[in-house]
């Protein structure tokens, strides 16, 4: 994170100033709040490391959350070249990259295109929309290629014809902020994440009907999990069906702040500090 201060930390500092809470910098993007709460980069002290593990693993979070919210149909595939000791993880083991590409093609040929993505990704890295066998093979190769974006697991899933995609920010099982990832009129430049299109915008949603609908969608999950702090990617498709796409336990606010200013995010951090302060010492 170097010398540039990220917007999450800028917003946190403003919130602490407003609430007259002490801050101590360990480094540019690492702050101790009120002598006890550590914030580092995008990470907050609200989530347990086990919850973060669940969120950072798409396969794992689909299993856990897919019981409570609608998710796209998907299958996970293990790298055929992974060390033998990791092969006993409950996934079907395929002999080769080609065998995996054939199986994905077989599973989705009546339902093309499909999405192929690394299991533990973020920021839209190695997320591919594939429409034929060759595209599938190339996507599988890229994910299991031994480079810096390597993953030992990939997700192949049905393609959702997304009409609208929202980021839903939840604090203590309550929706605090919903924004539209607006890429209408924006230009695709290789990353499928809507806010990575050129000229895309984060647009705050105030329509209570939309927020209520998302609330109803997430309620079964809230009834079964304590979501302390997370950003959900929620999509609505052309048939008006709502889908859970992913959960992020350390959401970033750079783009939201760029397009909407600090106010909403500072309020969010103020609520976070209030929440933390209510926890037993």
Ligand X SMILES: Nc1ncnc2c1ncn2[C@@H]1O[C@H](COP(=O)(O)OP(=O)(O)O)[C@@H](O)[C@H]1O
Least Å distance between CB 233 and ligand X? Answer: 5
Using CB distances below 5 to 8 A depending on partner kind, what does residue 194 bind out of Mg ion, ligand X, none? ligand X
Q: Stretches 76-84, 179-187, 231-239, 265-273: which one binds Mg ion (CB under 5 A)?
A: 231-239
Least Å distance between CB 246 and ligand X? Answer: 4
Which residues are CB-neighbours of 210 under 8 A, at least 6 positions away? 166, 178
Using CB distances below 5 to 8 A depending on partner kind, what does residue 107 bind out of Mg ion, ligand X, none? none
Of the pair 234, 272, the CB lying nearest Mg ion is at 234
Which residues are CB-neighbours of 73 under 8 A, at least 6 positions away? 157, 158
Of the pair 80, 124, the CB lying nearest ligand X is at 124
Least Å distance between CB 191 and ligand X? Answer: 8
Of the pair 79, 246, the CB lying nearest Mg ion is at 246
Least Å distance between CB 146 and ligand X? Answer: 20
For residues 242 and 234, what is the distance between their CA atoms, to the nearest angstrom? 7
Long-range contacts of 105-109 (CB under 8 A, 24+ apart): 105/133, 105/136, 107/75, 107/156, 108/156, 108/158
Beta strand residue intervals within 52-141, DSSP E = 74-78, 114-118, 127-130
Residue nearest to ligand X (CB): 160
Residues that bind ligand X (CB under 6 A): 72, 115, 117, 121-125, 127, 157, 159-160, 162, 165, 192-194, 233, 245-246
Of the pair 173, 193, the CB lying nearest ligand X is at 193
CB neighbour class for 221 (10 Å; exposed up to 12, middle 13-18, buried from 19): buried
List Cα–Cα distances, 82 to 76, 78, 85, 136, in angstroms: 14, 8, 8, 20
Binding of Mg ion by 233 (CB under 5 A): yes
Site for Mg ion in 88-117 (CB under 5 A): none
List Cα–Cα distances, 230 to 18, 29, 177, 255, in angstroms: 23, 19, 11, 16
Handedness of CA 112, 118, 120, 123 (dihedral sign): negative
Binding mask 177-216 for Mg ion (x = CB under 5 A): ----------------------------------------
Q: Which residues bind Mg ion (CB under 5 A)?
A: 233, 246
């Amino acid at each position: 994170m170097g010398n540039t201060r990220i917007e999450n930390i800028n917003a946190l500092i403003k919130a602490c100033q407003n609430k007259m809470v002490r801050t101590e910098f360990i480094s540019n993007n690492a702050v101790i709040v009120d002598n006890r709460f550590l914030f580092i980069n995008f990470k907050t002290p609200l989530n347990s490391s086990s919850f973060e593990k669940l969120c950072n693993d798409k396969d794992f979070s689909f299993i856990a959350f897919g019981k409570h919210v609608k998710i796209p149909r998907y299958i996970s595939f293990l790298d055929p070249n992974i060390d033998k000791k990791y092969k006993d993880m409950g996934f079907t083991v395929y002999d080769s990259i080609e065998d995996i590409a054939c199986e994905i093609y077989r599973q989705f040929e009546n339902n093309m295109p499909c999405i192929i993505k690394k299991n533990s990704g973020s920021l839209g890295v190695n997320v591919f929309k594939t429409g034929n066998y060759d595209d599938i093979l190339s996507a599988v190769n890229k994910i299991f290629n031994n480079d810096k974006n390597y993953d030992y697991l990939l997700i192949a899933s049905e393609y959702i014809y997304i009409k609208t995609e929202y980021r839903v920010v939840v604090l203590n099982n309550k929706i605090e902020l919903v924004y539209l990832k607006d890429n209408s009129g924006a230009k695709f430049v290789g990353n499928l994440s809507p806010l990575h299109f050129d000229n895309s915008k984060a647009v705050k949603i105030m329509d209570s009907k939309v927020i209520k609908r998302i609330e109803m969608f997430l309620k079964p999950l809230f009834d079964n999990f304590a979501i302390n702090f997370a950003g959900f990617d929620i999509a609505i498709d052309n048939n008006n069906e709502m889908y859970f796409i992913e959960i992020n336990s350390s959401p970033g606010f750079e783009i939201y702040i760029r397009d909407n200013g600090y106010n909403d995010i500072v309020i969010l951090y103020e609520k976070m500090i209030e929440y933390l302060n209510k926890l037993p010492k």
